[in-house]
Amino acid sequence: MPGTEEAQKLIKEFSEKNIDECCRSSTFTVEVEESVRGHIHQELVSWLLYRKLAADCCRSNIALHGFGLLFEKSAIECLTDACWLERYLIQRGGRCKPTNLEVPAFEFPDNPVEPIVPLNRAVECERKILDDLERLMKLAEKAGCYSLCTALDKRFLGKQTHHVKDMADLLQQTVRVSKHPGHGIFHLDRELRRAKGNMPWGKVNDPDSVALAIDNICSQLDKAEV
């Protein structure tokens, strides 16, 4: 039958077609795809480092459970971001190609217990993520891949800038309280524990929160009677 033959012809044509290419725009180049996979790798390396730091904080010789909660949350976020970006990669017609992860060659100091070096590693880790995001953004702009630029800007860049500042502030606070060994670290860890691993001063570094507070103050002034 003519209709059946035409259907069989169409089925054969689409069976042999690379459907992934239908999802892939011309701006999502091979170089951009490789760069996205590179950032997924960076997120997973960071996840492994934070997992190591969180586990070390739970050791009885260290017992810094507030810092442990902070590192645990950071690890979960890195893994979540890696998974999100991997799904985005597939959505754009790319492929997942896992790579070997570098094992953290690092031990949390326990004699004496001192979080300064681990926190310095954490600051470097957050800055590497930000630098890699900016590199990926620059490459996406060069390729004209504006949908990737929008995704990076909306989900990653703002919060990552915030993370770098928060972690650097925590490093400075730790250096400050470490001038009195033991006692200061105990109180800082307790603050982190009470905040469930969140930065107690996190909103202070958020421009949106500051802008909202200013708007509230201006609104109250507008309502005030002179």
Binding residues for Fe cation: 43, 126, 160
Q: How far apart are CA 26 and CA 67, in angstroms?
A: 45
Which amino acids are annotated as binding site, given as ranges?
43, 126, 160
Label each residue of the chain as H, E or C: CHHHHHHHHHHHHHHCCCCHHHHCCCCCCHHHHHHHHHHHHHHHHHHHHHHHHHHHHCCCCCCCHHHHHHHHHHHHHHHHHHHHHHHHHHHCCCCCCCCCCCCCCCCCCECCECCHHHHHHHHHHHHHHHHHHHHHHHHHHHHCCHHHHHHHHHHHHHHHHHHHHHHHHHHHHHHHHCCCCCHHHHHHHHHHHHCCCCCCCHHHHCHHHHHHHHHHHHHHHHHCCC
